[in-house]
Chain A
C-alpha cells in the first residue's frame, strides 16, 4: 500500500513538471512526422502526396525493408531522440525530486509514517523512474504502431527499447540521487550526472579503441586499466547496442558504403568494433552495470537513512 502510494505520487510529481508535457509533445511530434511518411513500391511519399521521392530501395525485399525500418526506429529515432534528448530531459526533470523530499516541512511528515527510511527511499527512487517509463512507453509505443500500420513493418523487438531506456536512465539517475542526497541541490545533481555520463561513455570508448587499434594492446597497463574500468562503470553505450540487437536492426557498418578514402582496412576495423559490441552478453553488461547502480544507491540510501532532519 505504501509502495503503491509513493509510485502514484511519483507519477503525479512527474506530471507536474513542465518538461513532462514538453516530452509528450516531442513524442507525439515524432510519431506524427513518421505518420506523414509512407513507403511505396516506387519510392517515398511525404505528407500524403505533397512530395514524392523516387527510389528502388524498398523493392529489394521484405526482409531488408524490415531491417531498414528497424534501424531507422532504433538507431535514428529511439537512440537519438529518446536515448539522448529524452534521457537528458528526464535527468533535469527528476533532479529536484529528492532535494524537495528532504526539505524541512516535507520530510518530517514522511519520516513519521510507519515505514523504514530505506523503504521510503527505494519507493521514491523507483517512483521517480515513472517519468521516463511513461514517456518511453508513449514514444516507443506510438512509433511502433506507426511503423506497423503506416509502413507495414512490425518490429516486436523494438518494444524492448522501453525497459532498456529506463535501465539507461537508472544507471544515471543513481548518480543524480547520490549528489542530491549529499548536496540537496538539483542543479549540482544535473551537472554531476552529465559529467558522470560523459565519463562512463569515455571509459567505454577508450576500451573500444583497443579493439579498433589492436596494436595498442602492447601497452599492457593501460589496456588492463581500461578493461577494469569498463567493468566497473555502467555500460551506457551497450544499451543502444542491445536495443538494436533485440530489434534485429542491421548493424550500422553494414549500411555504411565503402569509401575509398576510408579504405577497406578502416572498415574492417570498424566491423571488428561492431562485432565486439554486438558480442556482449546482455546479462553480463546489465548485471555489472546494475552492481554499480546498487552500490551508488546503497551509499545514497545510507546517507538518507542516517541523517537528522
Chain B
C-alpha cells in the first residue's frame, strides 16, 4: 500500500515503510528517512539490514507492504518523478550485445530523454566517466570497473534531480573511487540530490552530508555526521608508571582504565583535567592526550546493539 502524505520540501521523505516478504520475512519494519534537496545522503547498515530493499522500493522495483511519503514531492512510483531520477543498482548488468554508447542511448530513451539530447549528453558523460575510447566497444568486453563507470553515466543521462546509487564504487580501483567522489561532489554543487547506499563506510564519511544507519529493518541513527559523532567523543590519555597508585582515584572520577590508558567517555574537558591532575600528583609521565571521534564504523557497531531484534547477526527478521 502506498499512500500520499502532505507535500514536503524533502527530496526523499519516506515514512513508515514496511516490507514483508513471503514466509513472513520482515525486511523493513517502519523506516522513516528524510533527505534534503541538494545533499548527499548515505544509507549504511550491515548485510541484510534492508538497505537494498529500501532503495528498490524507492525505484519501484520492489512493492512495499506499506509506505507513506514522497520522492521529489510526489508519491513513490510517480512516473514524472521517476523520469527525473537516475538509478544505478548494485551488480547491474547491461545487455552484452550493446556498445557503451548504445547502452546510454537505449536507457535514456526508456527514461523519455529526447533523441537530440541523448546524442548530446552521451559523449559528454562518457568523457566525464573516462569511457570515451570504449564507447563503441561491446559491453560484454568491459571489465567490472568499466561497467560501473558506464552505469554511473547511465544514471545521469536524464539529467536527474535525484540520483540513487547502490554501491557506486564497487569494482573501482582507488583512482576510480576518487573520480566518483569528485563527480558526486560536483553533482551536489550543481544542486542534485544524491542518495548513496554503500557498505564502504570510509567512502560515505568522505562525501555524505547526512547518513542513516539501517539495522534489522529499522533506522537506528539518522543525522549529519557531526550530529552522530558529537555525543560519542572520548579522550584517551596514555601514561607510564605505576598504574596501581592511581587506579582508585581514577575510578572515583568515572574513568575507564585499560593498562596504562585512561579513557574519558563523552566530551568533558573538566574530567580530562582531573585525570591529568591525579596522574601528575602521583608523578606519572603523561605520554599523550588524544580526543577520539568515533568513526562511522564505531557508530554502526554501536547502533547495532540498540535496535530491537538486532542480536548482532545480520539478516532480515523472521516473525
With both beta carbons as reference points, the residue of chain A lying nearest to B107 in the complex is identified as: A109
B204 → chain A closest CB, angstroms: 21
Pick the residue among A15, A103, A112, A308 that contacts B21 (CB under 8 A): A308
Q: Could you tell me the distance between the alpha carbons of A8 and B56 in the complex, rounded to whole angstroms?
A: 27
Q: Could you tell me the distance between the alpha carbons of A16 and B99 in the complex, rounded to whole angstroms?
A: 12
Residues from chain A with Cβ under 8 Å of B112 in the complex? 1-2, 114
* Contacts A2-B112, A5-B106, A114-B80 given; does A13 touch B61 at CB 8 Å: no
User: Which residues of B2-27 are within 8 A (CB) of A?
Assistant: 21
- Answer yes or no: A113 CB below 8 A from chain B CBs: yes
- Answer yes or no: B253 CB below 8 A from chain A CBs: no
A271 → chain B closest CB, angstroms: 51
Pick the residue among A8, A9, A106, A114 that contacts B82 (CB under 8 A): A114
User: Which residues of A111-140 are within 8 A (CB) of B?
Assistant: 111-116
Contact B91 A12 (CB under 8 A): no
User: Which residues of B25-72 are within 8 A (CB) of A?
Assistant: 56, 59-63
Residues from chain B with Cβ under 8 Å of A1 in the complex? 109, 112, 114-115
Interface of A is mostly: helix
Number of A-B pairs, beta carbon distance below 8 Å: 84
* Contacts A12-B98, A114-B80, A114-B112 given; does A109 touch B85 at CB 8 Å: no
Contact B97 A108 (CB under 8 A): no
With both beta carbons as reference points, the residue of chain B lying nearest to A6 in the complex is identified as: B110
- Answer yes or no: A104 CB below 8 A from chain B CBs: yes
- Answer yes or no: B95 CB below 8 A from chain A CBs: yes
Residues from chain A with Cβ under 8 Å of B92 in the complex? 105-106, 108-109
Interface of B is mostly: loop
Residues from chain A with Cβ under 8 Å of B106 in the complex? 5, 8-9
Q: Could you tell me the distance between the alpha carbons of A106 and B62 in the complex, rounded to whole angstroms?
A: 14
- Answer yes or no: A107 CB below 8 A from chain B CBs: yes
Contact B93 A103 (CB under 8 A): yes
Q: Which 3 A-B pairs have the closest CB atoms?
A: A5-B109, A16-B97, A108-B89
**A interface residue numbers (CB < 8 A to B):** 1-2, 4-6, 8-9, 12-13, 15-16, 100, 103-116, 306, 308-309
Given contacts A2-B110, A112-B87, A113-B107, 6 further A-B contacts (CB under 8 A): A8-B106, A13-B95, A15-B97, A107-B61, A114-B82, A309-B56
Q: What are 19 A-B contacts with C-beta separation under 8 Å? A: A1-B112, A4-B109, A5-B110, A8-B106, A9-B95, A13-B95, A16-B95, A16-B97, A104-B91, A105-B90, A105-B91, A105-B92, A105-B93, A106-B93, A111-B60, A112-B89, A114-B79, A115-B110, A309-B56
